[in-house]
Structure formats: C-alpha cells, structure tokens
C-alpha cells in the first residue's frame, strides 16, 4: 500500500508543477466575469467616452453634421417624415379665447399628422406693435400639462413673448402611450424602431410651423424650453430644427455612463433616450445645436440624473462650441434641489433673462426680473381644449402602431430575387440592428476545460472561449458520430434560459449517429445566467446602449460557430443549427449572418417579433433594434433558402409563407413541417 501511494504521488506532482496553479488546473483563470451589470456599465462608459472623440476640427464636424442630423431623425422614428423640408402651417382649430391682464390665451388644437391632434394654449401679449419673438414650451410628464406648466407661459407672455404650450401624447387631455417598455412590456417598440419621443418631436416641429405662420410672431426669433420630458425635447428639437434660435433644456438628460452605472434610467420614461441605433450619447445631440445659444440646466440633487453625469454632457458638447469659437453660447446652469427648477425656483428668472437677451436683445438680470409667480391661476378645466372630447378619429392613443412603417412582406418571383433580398437585409441589419457588434473580434482564448470518454460513443469535451470582452462561454461537444481526429458534421443546439437538463435533446433525436452534437449556452443562459427579476433593467439598459439581449446572443452564436470551426473533428462546412422557443429567433438571425449553415431546425418559433412581453421584463426577450423596419423572423427563416428547414412543435400560420416560398421556387422537399 505504501508503495502504491508513492507511485501515485510521483505521477501527479509533475503535472501540477507545469501548471500555473492548482486553482487554474481545476477551473481555469477567472479572467472573464460573465457579469451583465459589469458589461453594461463598461459599454455605457465606453460610449460616453467616445462621444464626439473623433472630431478634432470644425471642418471635420461640418463634414458629418448633416449625416448626424439624418441619423438622429431616424433614431427618433422620423426617417419617413419631411423633417428637413419646408412645410405649411398645420390645420388649426380655435376653440376659445381667455383674456388675462396683458395677454390672451387662445385655446386651440392642430393636426400634426392625419388624425393626430395636439391640444395647445397659445399665449399672445396684448397690444403688440410688431411681430414678437416666440417660445415653444414643451411639457414634461406632469398629469395636467397645460395647467401644470402655465406659470412658464404666463411669465413669457408678460415679458412680450408669444408662447405656445403643447401637450404630450402621454398626459393631459388625451392619454396616449409613453411607457411601453417601461410599464407595459412593449419591448417590441425596440424592434419597431419606435420611440414616443419621435411623435413629440414631430408635434413640436409642427408647433413651430404654426408659430412661424402667425402674424404676431417674428419667425426668425423662436426659442424652445421645457423640463424633464420637456427637457429632453429641448435637446432633440433644436438639434433637428435650426429655426430654433435659442434653447434651454432643464433636467432632460444625463450621460449614458451615469444613467447605466447609477441605474437612474430605471426611473425614466421611454422617451428619454432615442432608439440608439448609432451608439450615441447626448453630446452628439447637443453638438447639433451648436453654435446657437443653448443652456443645460440641472439641479444638484435630482434623483433622475446625477449632477456629474450632466456636467459630463456639458463639457463634451462644449468641444464643438469651442471649434466654432462660440464657447460663450453654451452654458451650464446649476441650482440646489431635486427634480425641479431649483429649491426656490432659482432657474426661472435665469431662463427668462437668457431668452430676453437672446431673442429680444434686452439685458435684464435675474434680480431685475425678480421672483416669478408660480401659482396655477387658471384651473385645468378652464385651460382644457377638448370640452366635448377629442376630434373624431383621433389617433393619439394608437399612434405607436403606425408612426414607424414596418417592412413589407416580399413576394419572390425567382431565386435571384430572394438572394438579393437576403443580401440587402443582411447589410441593413448589420448597420441598424447589430451595429454594436465589436468592430474587431477579440481573441477566442479557447481552451479545453474538461474531457471524458463517458456519456457518448467517442467521448465528450467541454471547451470555453471568449466571444467578446467580458464573457467566457462554454460549448459541450458530444462525439456521437466520430472521434476527435475524424472531421464530422455537427449539430449545434442552442439552449434556452432556465431549460431543463435534457430539454433540448429531442432536437437531435435520430441524427446523432451521423452528427456530433454540440450544446451551447449564450450569455445569460446556464452558468452565465441572470435572475429573471433583473431582466427588466437589462432589456432597457441594453437598448439604451444600442443592443438587446437577443442581439448579444446572436453575436455569441456567430462567434461560437467561428470557434467551433477551429476545433479538431469538426467539418467546418457541415454545421447544422437547432433551437427551440426563444432561441429560435437567435438561431435564425445567426444562420442568416453566418451564411454557411447547412440546415435549420426550429421548434415553437414565434409568429413575429412584434409581440408583447411580460410587463416586468421576465420571460422571452426576442426584440432587436429596428429589425421590424427591415424584416421579421418569418422572412429571416425563409432567407435560409435553399438549405433544409425543419419546423416542429407549435408552428404559427405565418410560416405558411415560408413553405409557399420554398414550394414556389421549386424546393418543396427542403422544408419539413412537423406537428
């Protein structure tokens, strides 16, 4: 017995001496944390740090400014609207006029789109001798819009400004939707490329059209301001509409780094960040306002934004103002207090002083203006426009369904048309859905973590690799068809979040004699999984930094395929992909982008990606930024043509289109639908 122990020790010790440590022999170095919060914070910080960093001269900025305006319009869902064209005044319906001391309040509504109406109060100073400057006041998320913010409009009118105060689609007299992903589980808004901020911006632009066509208004002297949701609008509107000569955004934005790292985005409405297709931060928006006068106003103890995150926006935006030589036109206004105009309303006279100087040429200090009355003089009922309800056929409550057009379903007359469609959607998806994919893939740093001859005919190995910095994921190879030295076809099975140990095995039933089988868990699945009660935050935070859970998993699968092709015993040109439920979407998109998958087996695929989720964010996460503007899951599956497709389980009727497409193009035998 003593001799046996001695021999055992002599055999093992050299192996340990060759390794770095006992810990690394057992587990491998813990060099990739697989922590979604760490990843999101790092990516947000990187986006913030890169905002405007490539711009070094005014010439460089001017060369890209037009394109960036177009990109912002697109991220707001305004791609198909005449944002940059000359427009006539919208149709206006005047309901009533209220006379006050020194000004009148015209109660009206205007039609910004067909059957989309905007209730508004127009404050006009009495006895105007000449056309006056105007202010568009954009409301925040108060429940009584024109009523809640009336003190602003009153003070502007008392100082000689025409002021149009417009309601949002969320609050006020018609309760539309701002809180789709935030409150209702409408994460498909990300797939649609829809953001309620886009409707608000369009309504604001049409409000400026209205002001410009009034005899009482000097069209060359228009400003915009608002707080909170109105504060974010006061970034978007002057960035897109150069008719706005001066703007003050109050408590309307913080850096992405601050929003994600401090989780303040969890308290924000969906309208507070555009669909981040182009990986922007707010300085990219502020730069579009330069060199016009712009004030970023923020209190120091706002629960929605840290003051540091707002100061960061100011300093990064200042770079472009410096290039114009107009640094004095950008100001950071701070005051004590929470989410407001300051603990003692300090900001109100400062803002009024700013607009008096910029739009009237009058220098009047805040002390000269004095305390501004903030009482709500008139009731909500008195200021209401729709005394008998909104106009017939008003679409405000359903505008999210039609504001951003969705992709048409193609009708292929021949294979060439389908191939052309496939290449086009791949190109556009890479630009507008998967733009956050790393520009340069990192090293796989692949390693064999475990091997055995149990459990399968020719052995099993577990490999791990790095798909992207911050992640190390595993793939489990079951060699059921050949040994490691003999290249064989492979079925890659994508596992789902929270699935049982053997739940996906039936996807390879009857095929494992001819194929080796690989099981893969993308990020957020299996060992790298995250708690269901964190998914609401993860889904929203991911979208704010230009990606989604599903799009990140698509990247993981693409990288898994690339790594798999480097391993011994794998035929790189004979890989098949299988998935069920939620991961069918990931599988289909990964197959499309990879372009070299031999067959696709999908169980229980969704009818569309345009589906609601659980309001708390739990369950399947199949949204991808802008994808429904480009295509949909059914068309992506059909784009696998002419390779084999097997559909099984619950198959929605929408997939009859895939079958019809294969049949019409002469490949009926390549599609199999099993109940």
Give the residue extent of every domain in the chain. Answer: 2-30, 47-401, 415-674
Q: Of the candidates 378, 398, 400, 448, which has an alpha carbon nearest to the alpha carbon of residue 190?
A: 400
Render pLDDT for 626-640 as a digit per residue (tens, 0 to 9).
999 999 999 999 999
pLDDT of residue 380 exceeding 70, the answer is: yes
**Topology annotation, domain 415-674:** Rossmann fold (3.40.50)
Q: Work out the mean pLDDT of the chain and round it to a whole number.
A: 93
**Topology annotation, domain 47-401:** Rossmann fold (3.40.50)
pLDDT of residue 183 exceeding 60, the answer is: yes
With contact defined as beta carbons under 8 Å apart, do 496 and 457 qualify? no
Q: Of the candidates 230, 88, 188, 111, which has an alpha carbon nearest to the alpha carbon of residue 404?
A: 188
Question: Degrees (nearest 5) of the Cα angle 113, 119, 120?
Answer: 115
**Count of CB atoms situated within 10 Å of the CB of 371:** 11
Q: Supply 586's token pair.
A: 């990931």
pLDDT of residue 580 exceeding 70, the answer is: yes
pLDDT of residue 602 exceeding 70, the answer is: yes
Render pLDDT for 261-284 as a digit per residue (tens, 0 to 9).
999 999 999 999 999 999 999 999
pLDDT for 2 equals: 37
Task: Report, as an integer, the average pLDDT of 649-670.
Answer: 96
pLDDT for 32 equals: 52
Q: Give the contacts of 551 (CB within 8 A, at least 6 positions apart).
A: 433, 434, 436, 624, 625
pLDDT for 675 equals: 73
Confidence of residue 484 (pLDDT cuts 50, 70, 90): confident
- 116-125 sheet: strands from edge to edge: 92-100, 103-113, 116-125, 162-166, 132-138, 217-227, 244-250, 294-299, 330-335
Q: What percent of the chain is modeled with pLDDT above 70?
A: 95
Q: Supply 615's token pair.
A: 């309001």
Lowest-confidence segment of 121-125, 290-294, 302-306 by average pLDDT: 302-306
Only one residue has tokens 């504060």, namely 231
Render pLDDT for 400-415 as a digit per residue (tens, 0 to 9).
999 999 999 999 999 9
Task: Report, as an integer, the average pLDDT of 350-378.
Answer: 94
Fold matches, 47-401 and 415-674? yes
pLDDT of residue 616 exceeding 90, the answer is: yes
Strand partners, 134: 162, 222
* Most confident stretch, 9-23, 362-376, 408-422: 408-422
Q: Supply 627's token pair.
A: 């994808």
pLDDT of residue 7 exceeding 80, the answer is: no
Task: Report, as an integer, the average pLDDT of 349-366.
Answer: 96
Render pLDDT for 512-521 as a digit per residue (tens, 0 to 9).
788 999 999 9
> Please, is 193 exposed, middle or buried when counting C-beta atoms within 10 Å of its C-beta (0-12, 13-18, 19+)?
buried
pLDDT of residue 23 exceeding 70, the answer is: no
Confidence of residue 502 (pLDDT cuts 50, 70, 90): confident
Q: Of the candidates 577, 569, 581, which has an alpha carbon nearest to the alpha carbon of residue 593?
A: 577
pLDDT for 615 equals: 97
Confidence of residue 458 (pLDDT cuts 50, 70, 90): confident
pLDDT for 124 equals: 98
Render pLDDT for 77-114 as a digit per residue (tens, 0 to 9).
999 999 999 999 999 999 999 999 999 999 999 999 99
pLDDT of residue 29 exceeding 70, the answer is: no
pLDDT of residue 469 exceeding 70, the answer is: yes
pLDDT of residue 119 exceeding 70, the answer is: yes
Higher-confidence position of 535 and 20: 535
Q: Of the candidates 114, 276, 259, 118, which has an alpha carbon nearest to the alpha carbon of residue 189?
A: 276
Q: How far apart are CA 578 and CA 564, in angstroms?
A: 15
Taking the alpha carbons at both ends of the chain, their separation in whole angstroms is: 62
Confidence of residue 541 (pLDDT cuts 50, 70, 90): very high
């Amino acid at each position: 017995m003593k001799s046996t122990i001695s021999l055992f020790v002599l055999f093992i010790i050299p192996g340990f001496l060759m390794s770095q440590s006992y810990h690394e022999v057992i587990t491998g170095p813990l060099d990739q944390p697989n922590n979604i919060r760490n990843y999101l914070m790092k990516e947000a910080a990187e986006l913030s740090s890169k905002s405007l960093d490539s711009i070094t001269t005014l010439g460089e900025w001017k060369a890209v400014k037009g394109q960036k305006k177009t990109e912002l319009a697109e991220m707001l869902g305004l791609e198909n609207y005449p944002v940059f064209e000359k427009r006539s005044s919208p149709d206006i319906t005047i309901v009533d006029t209220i006379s006050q001391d020194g000004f009148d309040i015209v109660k009206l509504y205007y039609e910004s789109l067909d059957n989309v109406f905007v209730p508004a109060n127009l404050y006009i100073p009495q006895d105007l001798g000449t056309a006056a400057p105007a202010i568009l006041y954009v409301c925040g998320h108060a429940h009584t819009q024109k009523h809640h913010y009336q003190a602003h409009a009153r003070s502007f009118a008392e100082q000689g400004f025409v002021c149009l105060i417009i309601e949002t689609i969320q609050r006020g007299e018609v309760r539309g939707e701002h809180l789709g992903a935030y409150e209702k589980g409408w994460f498909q808004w990300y797939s649609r490329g829809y953001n309620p901020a886009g409707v608000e911006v369009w309504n604001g632009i049409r409000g400026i059209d209205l002001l410009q066509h009034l005899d009482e208004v000097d069209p060359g002297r228009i400003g915009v301001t608002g707080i909170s949701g109105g504060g974010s609008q006061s970034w978007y509107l002057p960035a897109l509409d150069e008719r706005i000569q001066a703007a003050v955004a109050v408590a309307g934005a913080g850096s992405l780094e601050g929003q994600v790292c401090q989780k303040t985005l969890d308290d924000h409405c969906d309208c507070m960040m555009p669909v981040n297709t182009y990986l922007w931060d707010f300085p990219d928006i502020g730069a579009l306002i330069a060199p016009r006068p712009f004030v970023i106003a923020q209190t120091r103890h706002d629960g929605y934004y840290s003051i540091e995150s707002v100061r960061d926006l100011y300093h990064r935006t200042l770079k472009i103002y410096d290039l114009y030589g107009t640094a004095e036109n950008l100001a950071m206004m701070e005051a004590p207090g929470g989410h407001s105009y300051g603990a003692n309303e300090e900001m109100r006279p400062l803002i009024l002083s700013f607009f008096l100087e910029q739009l009237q040429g009058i220098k009047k200090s805040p002390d000269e203006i004095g305390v501004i009355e903030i009482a709500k003089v008139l009731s909500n009922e008195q200021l209401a426009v729709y005394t008998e309800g909104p106009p017939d056929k008003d679409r405000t409550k359903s505008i999210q369904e039609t504001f951003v057009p969705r992709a048409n379903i193609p009708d292929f007359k021949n294979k060439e048309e389908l191939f052309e469609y496939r290449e086009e959607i791949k190109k556009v998806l890479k630009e507008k859905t998967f733009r956050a994919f790393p520009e340069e893939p990192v090293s796989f740093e692949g390693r064999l973590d475990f091997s055995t001859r149990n459990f399968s005919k020719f052995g099993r190995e577990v490999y791990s690799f790095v798909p992207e910095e911050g992640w190390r994921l595993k793939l489990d190879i079951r060699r059921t068809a050949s040994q490691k030295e003999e290249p064989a076809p492979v079925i890659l099975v994508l596992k789902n979040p929270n699935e049982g140990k053997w739940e996906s095995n039936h996807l390879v039933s009857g095929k494992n004699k001819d194929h080796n089988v690989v099981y893969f868990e993308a990020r957020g699945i299996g060992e790298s999984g995250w708690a269901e009660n964190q998914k609401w935050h993860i889904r929203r935070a991911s979208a704010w930094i230009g990606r989604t859970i599903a799009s990140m998993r698509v990247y993981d699968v693409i990288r898994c395929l690339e790594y798999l092709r480097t391993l011994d015993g794998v035929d790189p040109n004979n890989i098949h992909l299988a998935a069920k439920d939620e991961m069918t979407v990931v599988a289909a998109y990964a197959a499309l982008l990879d372009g070299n998958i031999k067959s696709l087996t999908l169980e229980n695929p969704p009818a569309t990606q345009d589906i609601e989720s659980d309001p708390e964010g739990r369950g399947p996460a199949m949204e991808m930024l802008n994808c429904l503007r480009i295509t949909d899951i059914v068309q992506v599956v059909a784009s696998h043509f002419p390779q084999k497709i097997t559909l099984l389980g619950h198959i929605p009727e929408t997939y009859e289109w895939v079958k019809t497409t294969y049949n019409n193009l002469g490949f009926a035998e390549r599609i199999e639908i099993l109940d």
